[in-house]
Amino acid sequence: MKPKKTNNMDMKFLNYFALLFVFSLGLYAQKPIKLTLQECVEMAYEKNISIKQSELDLDNASIDKADALGNFLPNFNAQGSHSWNVGLNQNITTGLLENQTTQFSSMGFSLGVDIYNGSQNVNRMHRANLTLLARQYQLDDIKENVSLLVVNAYLQVLFNKELLTIQEQQTQVSKEELERTRSLVEAGTLIKGDLYEIEANYASQEQALIQAENALLLTRINLAQLLLITDYENFDIADEEFEVPFSEIMQQSQKAIFTKALSFRNDVKLAETNVSIAEKDVAISKGNLLPSIRGFYSYNTRVSYSDRLVPDGSGFAVAPPLPFADQLWINDGQNFGLQLSVPILNGFSTKNNVKRSRVNLLRVTNQLEQQKLDLETNINQAYNDAKGAYKFYEATNRTLASRKEAYENAQERFNLGVINSFDFVQVKQRYEAAVSNFLRAKYDYIFKLKVVELYFGIPIVS
């Protein structure tokens, strides 16, 4: 019996649908990943190796704190052993030396506790808390630095994207001018020499377009590397608009920004915490110069598996060993007391440790002062850079407006044959340079303003 024709049609339809579905999945899989600035910063926080290393330092600080807490607890240890004595031993029954095997078991536990040790345990606990705080400041500071790198790279991609868009538009305009010039030359309105100049300008526009594409690709790769993304081809940023903001921060004085930065900056807080840690190190080293008192207690017992001699009416008789449980209580013993330790002479190591701690305290104190000086210098530099960048942005904006009017006027005059192609191309190139300078000044100011805002406590991303 022949199969129905409709079945073949159904199979063809299913095959076509399956092929279309697989093809659509391939297109979806190759769809570029577009990330916003916020998403880029969050991805950097998650993947950056320096941040991961700092998080591990924070974990170690948490472990050190647990160690410091454990110093307040007693030391409790249990021990046990079972031994075989094989070879020449005295027979407790005959009193003669014989080759034999005897067995013994022993067990017990010990307890020790610090009663006084120059407050070292308290100071170590305080130091562990300060170290934990310092590692958190360190982590937050690294995140700020990473976010600045990401924002700078992100703005560079935006700049090159806008520049590429404008370059594509200018190339299209140059192409249209070339076609229009050819028509005017053929009509006799312009001479053929004007066409050569326009053709050369169009060729240079194509070169500039290729350079803009390469610049965009390189900045995208740079941003992707910061985010540890290896699939450069399918990585892109979202089409976000970044207008030049008006910020009241620039109305603040540099001294006011510095004063506020001292109250919250992670690098300053880290330096201050390091000074506190060094002070605790001095206190801990001084504690080693003081006497220490420690309490102890131990309990031990043993069990023998050999025969024993027991008295009887005529002397002694050989008897089997006592039961295991009975021997535990018969053979046990206790030891307890107080131990006083007074440092007298230990090769000057204890006193030298105190001196080293004091030297380190002076060192980190100097580092704190240097950190404050560096912060003030960086704020002054960032403030002046942002102020100068805004002035340059305003200047490029005015220049762009003038160059645009000159270009539009020159275009009309060239179409009418009033000016030659050389003069027109010169005006056009100056306009294109003004566009590039304007975009560069715009994103340069946005980034430098964000740096100043960061010093004032405004997050780099919301």
Residue pLDDT, tens place only, 127-149: 999 999 999 999 999 999 999 99
- C-alpha span between 99 and 82 (Å, rounded): 20
Which is more confident, 326 or 209?
209
User: How much of the chain exceeds pLDDT 70, in percent?
Assistant: 89
CATH number at residue 37: 1.20.1600.10
pLDDT score at 253: 92
pLDDT class of 75 with cuts at 50, 70, 90: very high
76/88 Cα distance (integer angstroms): 38
- 7 located within any domain: no
In the sheet that 75-90 helps form, which strands lie side by side, from edge to edge? 75-90, 97-116, 292-304, 333-341
pTM beyond cutoff 0.75: yes
What is the domain range of residue 157? 33-82+119-290+343-455
Tokens of 261: 């930065």
Res 24: pLDDT: 46
d(CA 371, CA 390): 28
Q: Examine residue 16 and state whether it is found in any structural domain, yes or no.
A: no
In a domain, 414, yes or no: yes
Per-residue confidence (pLDDT) for residue 5, from 0 to 100? 45
Query: What is the 3-state secondary structure of the chain?
Result: CCCCHHHHHHHHHHHHHHHHHHHHHHHHHCCCEEECHHHHHHHHHHHCHHHHHHHHHHHHHHHHHHHHHHCCCCEEEEEEEEEEEEEEEECCCCCCEEEEEEEEEEEEEEEEEEEECCCHHHHHHHHHHHHHHHHHHHHHHHHHHHHHHHHHHHHHHHHHHHHHHHHHHHHHHHHHHHHHHHHHHHHCCCCHHHHHHHHHHHHHHHHHHHHHHHHHHHHHHHHHHHCCCCCCCCEEECCCCCCCCCCHHHHCCHHHHHHHHHHHCHHHHHHHHHHHHHHHHHHHHHHCCCCEEEEEEEEEEEEECCCEEEEECCEEEEECCCCHHHHHHHCCEEEEEEEEECCCCCCCHHHHHHHHHHHHHHHHHHHHHHHHHHHHHHHHHHHHHHHHHHHHHHHHHHHHHHHHHHHHHHHHHHHCCCCCHHHHHHHHHHHHHHHHHHHHHHHHHHHHHHHHHHHCCCCCCC
Average pLDDT, the chain: 87
- The residue-averaged pLDDT of 190-194 equals 74
**Highest mean pLDDT out of 17-21, 100-104, 233-237:** 233-237
Give 382's pLDDT tier (boundaries 50, 70, 90): very high
Residue 397, pLDDT > 90, answer yes
Count of the separate structural domains present in the chain: 1
Comparing 134 with 176, which gets the higher pLDDT? 134
- Whole-number pLDDT of residue 182: 84
Instruction: Using the predicted structure, report yes or no on whether residue 356 has a pLDDT greater than 50.
Output: yes
Q: What is the pLDDT of residues 11-65, one digit of tens each?
A: 554 555 544 444 444 444 455 678 999 999 999 999 999 999 999 999 999 999 9
Domain membership flag for residue 417: yes
Pairing of strands 235-237, 33-35: parallel
Asked if residue 223 has pLDDT above 50, the reply is yes
Is 270 inside a domain boundary? yes
The residue type at 65: K
Say what percent of the chain tops pLDDT 90: 58
- Residue at 18 is within a domain: no
Query: Which tokens is 263 given?
Result: 């109250």
pLDDT of residue 31: 59
In-domain check, residue 38: yes
The answer to whether residue 361 is domain-embedded is: yes
Question: Two tokens at 270?
Answer: 């880290």
